[in-house]
Chain A
Amino acid sequence: MNTLNKVVRKNESIAYRIIEGEALLVSPADNLIYPLNPVATRIWELLDNKRETHQIISIVSEEFDALPATIQNDTVSFIDELASKGLVVIGNE
């Protein structure tokens, strides 16, 4: 799947709060809790079903100090992982 050129949206059934800069996600399907670090929280905030993943990577690259290639790989891996757990939906799935 080429996540880079896809828009991504949060699964609307996921309950979450951002507390002190870190998101806590609760999946109603299994009641599992997913705590996110600050970078992952920022990516989560940007998953608005409007921006494509490469646009999110650009924003994150401007805001956090890391190699662009690292940010790209980590962001795509993170989004794919969220999708595999049913926390987000990629593209028009």
Chain B
Amino acid sequence: MAPPATAIKGTVFSIQKFSVHDGPGIRTIAFLKGCPLRCRWCSNPESQRSVPELAYNRDRCLTFDNCIRCLEICTPGAIHRDHDDRPRIHWDLCTQCLLCADACPSKALTVYGYEVTVGQVLDEVERDGAFYARSGGGLTLSGGEPLHQPAFAVALLAEARRRRLNTAMETCGHCRGEDLLAAAPHLHTLLYDVKIMDAALHRQYTGVSNELILDNLKRVRAALPQLPITVRTPVIPGINDDAAAIAAITDFIAGIPNLRYEMLAYHRMGKPKYGYLGRDFEISEPSLAEGSLTQLKKMVRQRHPHLDLVE
């Protein structure tokens, strides 16, 4: 006998309550781990790899004066004493055994990602049910790319619907079309990223071409003409914050019926997390120029007066 859908396992790196900016009402976001894209500006670098991974925030370390648990437990010798009496991690030696994180009292060493079942995620999500009832909120799947774990994501959404939860999903669109079409019927809202129209630039900045993404968008629209879909563009300084880049995107989506469009201002909040993972943050541009989003919105409104633009 097949195991029940609620027993299907997947890997998430966070379940966050009280989200008020991603979908209607007060929501809970389940962040699924693993992403086929490597966007240079990604604000959740811990979302990219599929498996749980070690993170190290040196600011939280109590220093070796107070504690050497990690040093003692690390058999591959990946943890060394740094000049400020804190660990320095030799990432190339780290085997991701994660024992140091378990030993660390202050959570300077932690693990991004853990395995859970569909049932466990939804039990956690339902704990805020009283708030969804009044606000129209519910579950948002995010990531990473939720459809990077297609069976898990689809089972989550199907079971959420069965439990009468409002469902939303954020996707980068780079997934198998069948998977998207399997997930979409269980959704109340789809949030779909279109980042750059130029295929070569898209590949340069995200690691993949955008053909599959654009094609999937058309397919899901055709398959489910009534599903509310909001196309979103993270506006990144120096990459797609010019009128031409945004015009290209809106020209494309204006040709597809019944899409909302939203531009999101880039933020650098994810930057420290690159350090925690022993990685470099490749983007050095400062924040968006003041007023640039307003300018871009104005341009879009003039160019596509009938496009449903999120203010």
Say whether A associates with B: no
